[in-house]
Amino acid sequence: MISKSTKGLALSLLLVSGASQAGVWAPTDGDSNFFDLDTLIFGTSTNEFGIFEDTASIGATPKLVFTGGATISFAQNGVNWDISNGLSSSTLLGSYNFQIGYNRNGTWEFEAATAPIAFLGNGAWELAFTGQGNLKKLYAIDIQPSTAQADFPVPLPPAAWLMGSALLGLIGVGRRKKTA
């Protein structure tokens, strides 16, 4: 029988591994709105965010960059999708699915956690970026989790493998004590 502490450890492992995955998003209509808290409160911000291909990895170059907040338009162009924030434009190749990144001191990072904003209705999300121990949030309206994200293999982070092996070790030690 597995102890309560082992069950708690397993649950924590599942929660941590799920929270570490970057989201792949899709617009719900022809444009999506993004803003950070500084923009909402002060009307301006220096926080830089980027739109990336849905298959991009950390270290990739964003397709489109905006500061603080922006309305990003999506227009189909054959199999590709043109995106624009009114100041610059680019093209997403093969689909309108995308990832969102935050530029923290010259290094791009994808969101670590997301949560729906229920009182704003479907399509409103809070995205959290937690690199270097500092929390930065971006609010998005008119986006939804992409149904295409299941098509991409998501590797387990090294911490999950380490935690999983520790969990198996604890189970093994527990069984030895019961048989002795």
Residue 88 clears pLDDT 60, i.e. is over it: yes
Is 70's pLDDT higher than 80? yes
- State the residue for tokens 């054959």: 78
Tokens of 71: 């309305």
Question: At 19, is the secondary structure helix, strand, or coil?
Answer: helix
Higher pLDDT, 38 or 53: 53
Residue 3 has pLDDT above 60, yes or no: no
Spatial contact of 49 and 100, defined as CB atoms under 8 Å apart: yes
Query: What does the DSSP 8-state code read for residue 122?
Result: T
Query: How do the residues of the chain divide into helix, strand and coil, expressed in percent and rounded to 5?
Result: 30, 35, 30
How big is the chain by its Cα radius of gyration, in Å?
20
**What average pLDDT does range 125-130 have in this prediction?**
93
- Strand 107-110, strand 98-104: pairing: antiparallel
* Higher local confidence (pLDDT), 11 or 172: 172
pLDDT given at position 168 = 63
- Of 109, 119, 76, give the one whose Cα is nearest residue 95: 76
Cβ atoms of 84 and 41 within 8 Å: the answer is: no
What single-letter DSSP state applies at residue 24?
A: -
Structure tokens, 73:
């338009």
Share the mean pLDDT of the chain: 80
Q: Which pLDDT value is given to residue 58? A: 75
pLDDT in tens, 90-126: 999 999 999 999 999 999 999 999 999 999 888 999 9
Contact call for residues 25 and 143 (beta carbons, < 8 A): yes
β-pairing, 98-104 vs 89-92, is unpaired
Give the single-character DSSP code of 156. P
Give the start-to-end residue ranges of the domains of the chain. Answer: 1-21+156-180, 22-153
The per-residue pLDDT for 13 is 34
Whole-prediction pTM value?
A: 0.69
Helices (H), 24-157: 37-42
**Length of the chain in residues, anyone?**
180
CA distances from 21 to 39, 84, 92, 178 (A): 26, 26, 21, 38
Q: For 19-50, write each residue's pLDDT tens digit.
A: 334 489 999 999 999 999 888 888 889 999 99
